[in-house]
Amino acid sequence: MGRLTAALVVLWLCSAAVEAEYIKYKDPKQPVNARIKDLMSRMTLEEKIGQMTQIERKVASADIIKKYFIGSVVSGGGSVPAPKASAETWINMVNEFQKGALSTRLGIPMIYGIDAVHGQNNVYRATIFPHNVGLGVTRDPELVKRIGAATALEVRATGIPYTFAPCIAVCRDPRWGRCYESYSEDHKIVQSMTEIIPGLQGNVPSNYPKNFPFVGRRTKVVACAKHFVGDGGTKDGINENNTIIDWNGLLSIHMPAYLDSIRKGVATIMVSYSSWNGKKMHANYDLITGYLKNTLKFKGFVISDMWGIDRITTPSRANYTYSVQASIQAGIDMVMVPEEFIEFIDDLTLLVKKNVIPISRINDAVRRILRVKFIMGLFENPLADLSLADQLGSQEHRELAREAVRKSLVLLKNGKDRDEPLLPLPKKSEKILVAGSHADDIGNQCGGWTIEWGGQSGNITIAIKNSIDPRTKVVYEENPTKEFLNSHNFSYAIVVVGELPYVETSGDSKTLTIAEPGYNTITNVCEAMKCVVIIISGRPVVIEPYLKKIDALVAAWLPGTEGQGIADVLFGDYGFSGKLARTWFKTVDQLPMNVGDPHYDPLFPFGYGLTTSPRGLIAAQ
């Protein structure tokens, strides 16, 4: 009897030990809310604040992530593990950071984020799609959804599960240096283009909770609608400036795409550097907590922009403790610190301990961050592998980008006489001239937010050579002199000019001119022969008084790596179909000028675009 009792005791102890080992938050069969509740009941303040902290990969290590319980790591623009790093190098870096997170007491995985805004654009050999300014022209939400799905695969190919895209700004002034990140001046087009979100994250199931974040598993990524709110409406188009508009204007122009994004399950929303009627968005409680969280019922997490909370004060970081307090109280859940993370953690910890920031606000932030991590399956699959590495720069994705280029081109003029169109160009000619600073430079064609690309096949000059009869001679001369032009007998010329790459504030422009010697090249070439001018730019630019010299004019925006798509349409394999999603002004003195304005007098109106058939017949405007 004693032996039996002893055996029962041992059996009971063993079963109790097994039962004790069961941890609810680690069980994927449990409801998300139950997992969140269980995990949060185990977390210390230090662990919670760690989840709210996103640090730059340059200052990150497995040890730092473990020591400070860091919840997220970010690659800023151009922040890479090595020059020309392979997918495997990226994966190894991300996994090394992740192992630091998994080795903490509770093993909460970190989430790695990157700016994949037109493809996985920080990564060598990735497919670079046209920037949003071109995609808006297509008016093709299904195309944009496919681009989202392809981008998700290329981001996952490098071991990363989170992209800070899409930008759903409604750019109301092309002088803004980020206008190319905006699909259109018209909020309806921007709303339709939020279809990129289910491309990135996956389709929300029909029986899924309304306005709840949704992220598919291994082939999908967390998306981020940005920049909340009014970033495209700043005064004079100055980046990070003040958007002066009443509540109804904000709701009718800048807010609608956020409602669509939330409805489509967007998991995160990034706050804008800009202000609304003098109030910094990073400190705007009424809009972040009052409207976004309470009225719109957004259940994902709200993230700051990089150094965004620092800029609450002028000058930046003038009172960092206040910036931490104001931003967290406003409702920001995760802060892109990105380097001075110890100061951020110390300040936030002290503010909570002094009861300046209530623990309920911290709990709200952590609950939202954990919700996204559970929904996306990060706890079940925290480590990346090489299974998707072949998706990086795949031929299928490059063909998709080429299709997007074809559909994003806008034909603004075709022949000085409407009865004699120049386009499509003949493939058989004696000799043609290719000129201009942008014809032979793939960096110019990709624009900002693009790391060095690993190939040259997207180069427009090469694309032209690939499209024509092999007996046609192609001569490239960047800025031909009149003497050079007179000494050759060219059939026609293709001139490719435009803006040089820029990002953010460096792209703000009061003049909106193309890079020198672009206008000189247009004048010399187009006065000497029939010419088609292709403009590579992130927005409409000054084209008067040169328009009358030009036979055919094409707005190609920032097409990315697949320049062959331009040649496909130039030579008539496909027709022009793009319609302006932005008003093309006559002079910068007219700005801001958007469709519907009382003083609307454009060079080319919103919605304008000539079409051609693949057989070369000019169609209706």
Residue 252 has a CB neighbour count (10 Å cut-off) of: 12
Between the CA atoms of 590, 596, 597 and 603, what dihedral angle is there, to the nearest 10 degrees? 20
305 has catalytic annotation: yes
CA atoms within 13 A on the CB side of 569: 30
Strand-pair partners of 533: 495, 553
96 has catalytic annotation: no
Q: How many helices (H) and strands (E) does the chain have?
A: 21, 17
* Residue corresponding to tokens 């009971």: 12
* Beta carbons within 8 Å of 6's beta carbon, 6+ residues apart: none
Structure tokens at 586: 């006559």
| Strand ranges in 10-107 using DSSP code E only, listed in sequence order | 53-56, 72-75
Whole-Å CA distances, 313 to 235, 252, 278, 319: 19, 29, 12, 7
Alpha-carbon distance of 212 to 15, in angstroms, equals 38
Catalytic residue among 115, 185, 305, 508, which? 305
H, E, C per residue of 249-280: HHHHHHCHHHHHHHHCCCCEEEECCCEECCEE
Catalytic residue among 343, 477, 504, 573, which? 504
DSSP 8-state assignment for residue 290: I
Alpha-carbon distance of 378 to 14, in angstroms, equals 31
Q: Give the strands of the sheet with 279-280, arranged side by side.
A: 242-243, 275-276, 279-280
* Residue corresponding to tokens 């040259």: 456
Structure tokens at 80: 């890479």
Strands 275-276 and 279-280: antiparallel
Residues 365 and 358 sit within 8 Å (Cβ to Cβ)? no
Residues 207 and 228 sit within 8 Å (Cβ to Cβ)? no
Strand-pair partners of 74: 56, 113
CA atoms within 13 A on the CB side of 204: 20
At 286 the three-state DSSP class reads: helix
Alpha-carbon distance of 429 to 584, in angstroms, equals 33
* Residue corresponding to tokens 């043609």: 432
Residues 50 and 70 sit within 8 Å (Cβ to Cβ)? yes
Residues 66 and 105 sit within 8 Å (Cβ to Cβ)? no
Strands 268-271 and 275-276: unpaired
Residues 558 and 568 sit within 8 Å (Cβ to Cβ)? no
| Strand ranges in 140-233 using DSSP code E only, listed in sequence order | 162-163, 224-228
Structure tokens at 262: 């939330």
Kindly list the catalytic residues.
305, 504
